Amino acid sequence: MANDGLKHTPTELETAGSRVLPPADDVAARFKVLPHPNLTSEADWKAAMSDLKFGMQFSDHMARAIWTVGRGWHDKEIVPYGPLSLSPAAAILHYGQEIFEGMKAYRHDDGSIWTFRPGYNAARFNASARRLALPEIPVEDFIASVVQVVREDERWVPTGEGTSLYLRPFMFASEPFLGVHAARENTYLMIASPVGAYFEGGMKPVSIWVTRNFHRAGPGGTGAAKTAGNYASSLLPQQEAAEKGFDQVCFLDAREERYLEELGGMNVFVVRKDGSVVTSKLTGTILEGSTRSAIIRMLRDRGTPVFESLIALDELVDDIRKGEVTEMFACGTAAVVTPIGRLASEDFEVELGKSDFAVSVYNQLTGIQNGHEPDPYNWLYRLA
């Protein structure tokens, strides 16, 4: 039967990520809370919260756990946020064995605090862990780290349109050794940062430079994992894009150098004149975004066909010129949805004038996240 773009078959990650989680109260004592000798003063906290930038300030606490061969996870603690003591030989510093996640805690109008699909992030974290030869962390511990830091640092969850407490769980090889093998000691941390809008200046369309000089990921590589090296390799192409006057870089597939994959930190959607939507297929080289997954689901339920397919750049540019493609947008946890206003590379430049569709997706998704719209998918999880 032809795919009509409306039927939704959950991916492995979507299935793992929709496992029912224990309520926050049931996991809220898994990490031992150590006393904090020096909480941020009221005046410094106020100053920090009145000028929110993305990822520049951090809350008072962090979660920490250690994994060692033979013992598994131990010393699970909520400790003061602060510098780490790390051997200069720690494997992360030499071999980049690291994974991370990005989530947000949202304050609702009644003061309660929620996060979005934490089970999805936990499942993706463990999928990344497997790819990077790192140990998996029990989902309950992952959730507990978020619950407990947010509960200790409730005042750091901002109020106000577009604001949130950005949550950054990560794990890295902390064993000190030189030699290429999987570390026998790893550290898990969860830090939190109160944030305003990701792109300053609000939801204005971004310009995208498609790089022909670099690839982000290749077949069999780590593109589908959320690991430091993918971002390290995207920095130079991102600089190249910025030097040419573009906001973000977009990568093509490494095998045929023809298909649009994703931006350095966001997935991409294409809106067609016929009312259908296309997004890059999961080929193992792109990150399976939580926002991408939520948007696909919402759109299909709205009756908008969504096709996950290879997006040939040459055909896309032709279709934009012919008016067959009316909009493009990028999506991810940090910025939610961002319209793409200009797309270019060495041999073409096209503009996209509209962003109505992107705005409607943004409104629907942020409406659920902020508690202003019903949550038919049970995506929200109450933290406090």
Ligand X SMILES: Cc1ncc(COP(=O)(O)O)c(C=O)c1O
* Span from 125-133, 149-157, 259-267, 367-375 in contact with ligand X (CB under 6 A): 259-267
Only segment of 5-13, 29-37, 290-298, 317-325 that touches ligand X (CB under 6 A): 290-298
**For ligand X, which residue has the nearest CB?**
289
Instruction: Give the count of alpha carbons within 13 A of 257, CB side only.
Output: 6
What tokens does 36 get?
């904090």
* Binding flag, residue 211, ligand X (CB under 6 A): no
- Decide whether 40 or 267 has the Cβ nearer to ligand X: 267
Strands 103-107 and 164-173: antiparallel
x/- letters, 57..96, toward ligand X (CB under 6 A): ----------------------------------------
Contacts with ligand X by CB under 6 A: the residue count is 12
Q: In the chain, at which residue ranges do the beta strands (DSSP E only) sit?
A: 32-33, 61-68, 72-80, 98-100, 103-107, 113-116, 164-173, 185-195, 206-210, 248-252, 260-263, 267-272, 277-280, 306-309, 325-332, 336-345, 348-351, 380-382
Tokens of 348: 């073409």
Structural tokens at position 173: 């090889």
| Phi/psi at 381 (5° precision) | -130, 125
Structure tokens given for 105: 């805690």
- Give the tokens for residue 296: 């696909």
Instruction: Tell me the Cα Rg of the chain.
Output: 21
266 sits near ligand X (criterion: CB under 6 A): yes
**From the CB of 366, what's the least distance to ligand X, in Å?**
13
Tell which one of 332, 343, 362, 370 touches ligand X (CB under 6 A).
332
Torsion sign, CA atoms 170, 176, 181, 185: negative
Q: Look up residue 259 and give its DSSP letter.
A: B
Among 265, 319, 362, 379, interactor with ligand X by CB under 6 A: 265
Q: How far is the CB of 237 from ligand X (least distance, A)?
A: 12
- Considering only 55, 102, 162, 305, the residue that binds ligand X (CB under 6 A) is 102
As measured in angstroms, the least distance from the Cβ of 196 to ligand X is: 17
Closer Cβ to ligand X, 78 or 337, answer by number: 337
Q: Which of 205, 221, 289, 339 binds ligand X (CB under 6 A)?
A: 289
Interaction between residue 311 and ligand X (CB under 6 A):
no
Please state, in angstroms and rounded to a whole number, the distance separating the CA atoms of residues 60 and 71.
29
Cα–Cα distance measured from residue 356 to residue 4, given in angstroms and rounded to the nearest whole number: 23
Task: Give the one residue of 290, 338, 345, 355 binding ligand X; rule: CB under 6 A.
Answer: 290
User: Is 291 among the residues that bind ligand X (CB under 6 A)?
Assistant: yes
Question: Which of 298, 272, 300, 296 has the alpha carbon at shortest distance from 282?
Answer: 296
In the DSSP assignment, the letter for residue 85 is P
User: Residue 79 CB, nearest distance to ligand X (Å)?
Assistant: 26
Q: Does 169 bind ligand X (CB under 6 A)?
A: no
Q: Where do we find the tokens 């690991």?
A: 227
Cβ of residue 292: shortest distance to ligand X, in angstroms?
A: 6
Q: Work out whether 267 is an interface residue with ligand X (CB under 6 A).
A: yes
Q: Is 287 in the site for ligand X (CB under 6 A)?
A: yes
- Mark the segment that binds ligand X (CB under 6 A) among 153-161, 169-177, 289-297, 350-358: 289-297
Q: How far is the CB of 291 from ligand X (least distance, A)?
A: 3
Residue among 48 and 263 whose Cβ is closer to ligand X = 263
Nearest to 40 by CA among 21, 20, 55, 57: 57
Among 59, 211, 333, 338, binds ligand X (CB under 6 A): 333
Count other C-beta atoms under 10 Å from residue 221's C-beta.
18
Contact positions toward ligand X, by CB under 6 A? 102, 262, 265-267, 287, 289-292, 332-333
